[in-house]
């Protein structure tokens, strides 16, 4: 059994490394347009561009490692099944479950390694890239805005923006924590943003929303004001100071920091679903490799195809479906439709159930 296990892992190694390199390289090159924009419009030097590319690789690995695992499994076992090697092993009395054991061990290693990357390396790389972006922000304060994360760089305010399209924003939340009272909240369906003169901040024009306003009859409390248009200026002078530190966003934090930040924001009444979503996303993405191994193994036994194009096609279809579910789950989680844990783990659960069901079917023959 050890010899067979080593043989399977040796067969799997080459397509896995090759696919990982190709996918990572292609996705990295796909960001050339953004890099061109940074060079032409924002004046970033070649050294900083190279650093940004290097910091971007851990982010890509969170996606390309599970993708490479699935495609490598389909290629390897599709060939073994097509060459009747699987039939030969079963004819000798070997159960298919035993073939899956070394693969599951690899899946656990990849998932635990992915968890470490998502928890340590990725937040560090993302944070370092934001330090470079801080220098860009001195020329364009709009660079501080980022969708799907808490922005705490503006004096006295915390922003959360669901979608950014140039100068147009959608689903904007502005929090103003108070030391001696409840947190003031402003919510708008849409907004436009323009930089202040001398790039010391931004001016937001909010549309169709509500604002907490001080209640003169009850000091320390608010009343809800509905508005069609509301303008607010947000100052960046403290963040742009040379000695100012860069505040960490959820994507810059490890798991321990996210839990600490969640406790802090809960205490001042700020919705922490984005933090919970990021926490579960980090872990669920890492364990996608394990789920893909079970699903890919079962599919390869049933399809019995050795053609690389077919294996890539099946793999890409599964991958697209998985990440569409993940993106949809994130949107539902941020809107509070379902719990973040359910939304972020549903794609893994579906892949795992499908893999087990297909394996049982394949094991009958």
Q: Does residue 131 share a domain with residue 53? A: yes
Q: Chain-wide mean pLDDT for the chain?
A: 82
Tally of domains in the chain: 2
Q: Does residue 6 share a domain with residue 128? A: yes
Q: Does residue 128 share a domain with residue 8? A: yes
Q: Does residue 163 share a domain with residue 49? A: no
Q: Does residue 118 share a domain with residue 162? A: no
Q: Does residue 306 share a domain with residue 220? A: no
**Parent domain of 308:** 2-136+278-362
308 in any annotated domain: yes
Predicted confidence band at 242 (pLDDT cuts at 50, 70, 90)? very low
pLDDT at 243 over 50: no
Indicate the pTM of the whole model.
Answer: 0.73
Q: Does residue 282 share a domain with residue 199? A: no
Residue-wise pLDDT for 71-110, tens only, equals 999 888 877 777 777 777 777 777 777 888 888 999 999 9
90 in any annotated domain: yes
3-class secondary-structure state, position 150:
strand
pLDDT at 68 over 70: yes
The mean pLDDT value for 165-187 works out to 85
- What was the pLDDT predicted at 346? 95
| Phi/psi of residue 224, nearest 5 degrees | -90, 125
Residue with more model confidence, 172 or 316: 172
Domain C-terminal end among 223, 245, 267: 245
Q: Does residue 111 share a domain with residue 7? A: yes
CA distance 54 to 364: 47
295 in any annotated domain: yes
- What was the pLDDT predicted at 149? 79
178 in any annotated domain: yes
Q: Which residue has the tokens 């801080």?
A: 134
Query: Within the chain, how many helices (H) and strands (E) appear?
Result: 12, 6
Q: Does residue 118 share a domain with residue 23? A: yes
Q: CA distances (Å), 337 to each of 136, 185, 331, 341, in order?
A: 36, 20, 9, 12
* Token output for 265: 């924001």
Domain C-terminal end among 199, 228, 245: 245
Residue-wise pLDDT for 29-60, tens only, equals 877 666 666 555 555 667 777 787 888 888 88
pLDDT at 303 over 70: yes
Least-confidence region, from 3-17, 44-58, 182-196, 205-219 = 44-58
Q: Does residue 113 share a domain with residue 231? A: no
Q: Does residue 309 share a domain with residue 185? A: no
Q: Which of 78-92, 206-220, 265-279, 280-294 has the highest mean pLDDT?
A: 280-294
270 in any annotated domain: no
H or E element at residue 89? helix 85-91
Residue with more model confidence, 238 or 167: 167
Q: Does residue 123 share a domain with residue 38? A: yes
In percent, how much of the chain has pLDDT > 90? 28
Domain C-terminal end among 245, 263, 289: 245
CA distance 212 to 237: 25
């Amino acid at each position: 059994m050890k010899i067979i296990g080593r043989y399977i892992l040796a067969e799997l190694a080459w397509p896995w490394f090759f696919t990982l390199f190709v996918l990572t390289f292609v996705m990295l090159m796909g960001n050339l347009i953004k890099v061109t924009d940074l060079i032409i419009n924002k004046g970033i030097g070649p050294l900083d561009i190279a650093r940004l590319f290097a910091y971007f690789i851990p982010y890509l690995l969170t996606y390309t490692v599970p993708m490479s695992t699935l495609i490598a499994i389909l290629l390897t076992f599709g060939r073994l099944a097509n060459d009747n090697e699987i039939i030969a092993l079963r004819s000798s009395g070997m159960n298919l479950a035993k073939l899956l054991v070394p693969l599951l061990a690899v899946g656990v290693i990849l998932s635990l390694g992915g968890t470490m990357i998502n928890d340590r390396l990725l937040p560090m790389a993302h944070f370092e890239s934001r330090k470079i972006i801080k220098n860009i922000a001195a020329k364009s304060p709009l660079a501080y805005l980022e969708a799907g994360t808490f922005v705490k760089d503006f004096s006295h305010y915390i922003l959360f923006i669901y979608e950014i399209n140039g100068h147009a924003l959608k689903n904007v939340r502005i929090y103003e924590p108070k030391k001696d009272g409840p947190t003031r909240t402003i919510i708008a369906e849409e907004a436009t943003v323009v930089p202040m003169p001398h790039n010391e901040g931004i001016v937001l024009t909010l549309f169709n929303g509500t604002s907490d306003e001080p209640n003169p009859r009850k000091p320390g409390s608010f009343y809800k004001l509905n508005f069609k248009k509301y303008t607010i200026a947000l100052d960046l002078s403290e963040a742009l100071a040379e000695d100012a530190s860069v505040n960490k966003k959820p994507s810059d934090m490890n798991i321990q920091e996210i839990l600490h930040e969640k406790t802090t924001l809960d205490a001042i009444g700020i919705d922490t679903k984005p933090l919970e979503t990021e926490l579960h996303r980090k872990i669920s993405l890492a364990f996608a490799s394990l789920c893909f191994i079970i699903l890919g193994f079962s599919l390869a036994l049933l399809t019995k195809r050795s053609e690389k194009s077919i294996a890539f096609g099946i793999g890409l279809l599964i991958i697209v479906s998985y990440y569409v579910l993940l993106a949809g789950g994130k949107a539902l989680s941020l809107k509070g439709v379902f719990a973040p844990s359910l939304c972020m783990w549903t794609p893994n659960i579906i892949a795992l159930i499908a893999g087990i069901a297909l394996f049982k079917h394949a094991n009958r023959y």
